[in-house]
A = this chain, B = another copy of it.
Amino acid sequence: MKKKDMNKQTIIQDAVAKIILTEGAVSVSTTKVAKLAHIAQSNVYLYFKDKQALLDSVYNRERDRIINTTDIAELRNHDIDIENRIRYYIEQVYDYSLTNPDSMNLIEQIKFLMGEDDGLVISDSPNDIVHELLQEAMDNQVIKKLPINFHMGIVFSTIHRHTNNIIENKYSKSEYKFETIYQFIWDAMRIN
């Protein structure tokens, strides 16, 4: 029932996601995608201009998912002090990553495949909201004066590593609390 509601676009994107997660982005081929989606290979081109567009769409879907999950308003709410806004942001990344561990891996894989070096760091535009937040924090001498991708990087890579560790059963979800992870990240970022 529910499945039938999904349109083909989504089915195809899901197939791509599955392949990326199980075999790696390199292994994505229209043939495999079509097989997994139970359609003819040529059919892929009915829904996506070409392979690049297909990968882009999967990437964007995931990126949007993240962005939509983020409580942007709060990040801009100047009634909250900046340190807490950053903490709130990290918490959101943390929650998102634990809830959707695949999402992060998808984004990482696709970005890498396309030759972008920044890994998980998502920065749509320079005046991106998080960018803004971190810049403000830097200007106010709350966090260290460093390239912004250092700050974004440590947030993402730490949380991502944590999530992967759990997935790979290196330890259980309960073994490290958010507070612990957060402290690690925040100690790096903040001026003390």
Contacts and interface: CB of A to CB of B under 8 A. Distances in A.
Interface stretch (A55-63, A66-74, A184-192): A184-192
Decide if the interface of chain A is mainly helix, strand, loop or mixed.
helix
A147 B171 contact: yes
A23 B115 CA distance: 8
Task: Specify how many copies of this chain sit in the oligomer.
Answer: 4
A168 B149 CA distance: 13
Interface in A137-192: 144, 146-147, 149-150, 153-154, 157-158, 161-162, 164-165, 168, 170-171, 176, 180, 183-185, 187-190, 192
A26 interface: yes
A113 interface: yes
A164 B117 contact: yes
Contacts of A147: 161-162, 165, 170-171, 176
